[in-house]
Amino acid sequence: MRTAGLTMNDVWADRVLRERGVETYRYEGLAAEIGVLVESVELKHRGKEENYRPYLHMTGELRSVTPVKALPYGISQVTYSPGQGEKVDAFYEFDDQQMVVLASKGYFNSTFSVPEQIIGIEWELPATVDTLVLAPSGTEVDTPVVFTQVHNIAGLEIDLSGSGYDLTDYFTDHSKNGLQRTEAVVNERGLRARSDAINSLFSEEELDLVEQAEQIVHPATQAEPAVDGVGARLLQIEAEIAAEREQYQAERTRIPGTPENLYHERVTRALHAGEKKIAVPSEAESQKDGDDFDLGFESDLEREVRQTRSPEAPAPTFDERKREVARRAADLDFGDDEHGLGS
């Protein structure tokens, strides 16, 4: 027989227990199955000490209690009207084999989600209950009243062996259609991790303006092959990282104690200080030096004439130089076997 039930925390249950002369039957720790209308299911994870093991948290409303053994007066099931049953919180644990199945179905993909078909239906879950049966008064229209209490109704732990439900069968296989999305997420996280290692001084908008200016100065030729969206984005990110790296190195040279600063202060400046500066003579100095320096093409005789001549005297003419040469030749004595300059 099925009958409507009341919860043990109902005010009438306390009055029945205190009433004298009333026939009651009380049972504790009975094995039973409870019907729960599942309203929501969430995929959650344990803490770090349990290696973040996943589990399902289900919430719903108690709709029925079915004892393994029938209660007095042939009561086989106790039912509750919508809104009258207690709230149930159940936690479904996956075993190791089920974890392997979830991993093969793309558990580590971002598209992995809880199936919707397990929500909005009534589940039969194993539980332990206490019951209190109030005997009828003896009239034909009188029926027994049953009060029930489910153990751990706010923290019911279930699994495959206890409930018989293998929830991994309801999960959709995301191992193929979520592969590209997973790779994109991994690449994006890797690039972000590398770029976040350097604290950029410029915003994304400023970097975009620099890139646009470079494209204007150096436009791409039509002969270059077209780059797809992913490749263009990667090139852009590489350029941004290179710019940030140069900025980072420049900042390091200004921080005392860093290797870059020591190299800049001790090595670079010493190299610049040791360089020789070559002065370029002016035109006036070149003309002045040209009067005293003829690149070695001046003869000894001309040099002697130039040195004995006063600075104010005009330069000797060709005839004067010829007479001076003849005079000096006459003064030279070459011996008997030598010929003079005039012969």
- How far is residue 174's CA from residue 105's CA, in Å, rounded to a whole number? 5
Report pLDDT for 37. Answer: 95
Position 138 confidence tier, pLDDT thresholds 50, 70, 90? low
Average of pLDDT values for 205-210? 58
Phi, psi angles (nearest 5°) of residue 269: -65, -35
pTM reported for the whole predicted model: 0.49
Report pLDDT for 149. Answer: 92
Q: Find the helix or strand (DSSP H, E) in which 124 lies.
A: strand 122-134
Report pLDDT for 342. Answer: 44
Rg (C-alpha) for the chain, rounded Å, is 53
The contacts of residue 325 (CB under 8 Å, 6+ apart) are 301, 341
As to burial, measured by CB atoms within 10 angstroms (0-12 exposed, 13-18 middle, 19+ buried), residue 311 is exposed
Residue 229 has pLDDT above 80, yes or no: no
- Calculate the dihedral angle through the C-alpha atoms of 264, 270, 271, 273, rounding to the nearest 10 degrees: 120
